[in-house]
Amino acid sequence: MSVSSHEVRFSLPSLEVAAKVWGNPDGLPVIGLHGWLDNAATFDRIAPLLNDVHLVALDLPGHGLSGHMPAAGYSLWQQAATVLQVAENLGWKRFALLGHSMGAIISGVLAGSLPERIMGACLIDGLLPFTSEAEDAPKQMARFFAASLALESKRKPVYDSVDKAIQARAKGSNTDISNEAVKILVERGLMPDNGGWTWRTDPQLMLPSPMRFTSNHAVAFIEAITSPTCLVLANQGVMHKHPQVLDRIERFQNIELHQLDGGHHLHLEEPASEVATIFDSFFRKLT
User: Which residues, in sequence order, are bridge partners of residue 123?
Assistant: 99, 231
Sign of the Cα pseudo-torsion (154, 66, 57, 161, in order):
negative
CA distance to 11, 73, 287, per residue, from 208 (Å): 28, 12, 40
User: Is 101 one of the annotated active-site residues of the chain?
Assistant: yes
Q: From residue 260, give the alpha-carbon distance in Å to each of 31, 97, 248, 267, 276.
A: 23, 20, 18, 10, 12
Instruction: Give the active site residue among 5, 66, 101, 107.
Output: 101
Question: Where in the sequence numbering do the catalytic residues fall?
Answer: 101
